[in-house]
Structure 1
Amino acid sequence: MLDVWKLSVMAFELWTTSFSTIVMRNGLWQTQSPTSARMLKENQRMVTEKLEAGMETGFEIQKAMLHMAFGQTAPWWITSRRTMTPYHRRSSANSRRLSRQR
């Protein structure tokens, strides 16, 4: 049951860091020129990170499906943590980075 607790903590952290990152980026969009070098770099970074995290999550889902096809199933809480990890890692890093930039 400890793994289920870790999953719930990870989900809560992902939710809070995603929310804070959205708020901070929204503040940047309201205070910076959309064509400034800083905003172009931030927007490019945001899109690139989302694509990379989506691809990593897709690979984790594919691995889980292949394991199920060969009868090597993992509990749902382990698969859930593996699929949330790319988003959690990036969201936490973005929240820390954007909070320091002021």
Structure 2
Amino acid sequence: MFDMWKAGSMAFELWSSSLSTIAMRQQMWQTQPFYSPSMMRENQRMVTEKMEASIEAGLVMQKAVLSAMGGHYAPWWITSQKTMKPYHRRSSANSRRLSR
């Protein structure tokens, strides 16, 4: 039961840190020109991090599917934690970094 709670709390933390990151980036886009070097770096970083996180999450899901095909089933709360981990780690780091 505790693992289910951890999956839910991780999802909530991911949601809240994503919202704060989106709000802070929107504020940056409204206050700085899009062609400034700092905005170009931030936009490039955002896209790169999203691509890396989606690749990592995709590999976790692929591993879970291949394991299930081999007869080794993982509970949904374990798989969801492993899948959310790349997004959660990056979103939390971005929220901390942008709030400075």
TM-score category (smaller protein): over 0.9
Alignment of 1:11-26 (within 5 A): 11-26=11-26
Partner of 1:50: 50
TM-score, normalising length from structure 1? 0.97
Structure 1 residue 70 and structure 2 residue 54: aligned? no
Count of aligned pairs: 100
The answer for unaligned runs of 5 or more in structure 1 is: none
> What's the C-alpha RMSD, in Å, of the aligned pairs?
0.3
Partner of 1:30: 30
Instruction: Give, in angstroms, the shift of residue 42 of structure 1.
Output: 0.1
Secondary structure in 2 aligned to 1:33?
A: coil
List 4+ stretches of structure 1 deviating above 3 A: none
Amino acid across the alignment from 2:73:
T
The answer for unaligned runs of 5 or more in structure 2 is: none
- Residues 14-61 of structure 1: per-residue CA shift (max 9 Å, x gap): 000000000000000000011000000000000000000000000000
Sequence identity (%)? 64
TM-score, normalising length from structure 2? 0.99
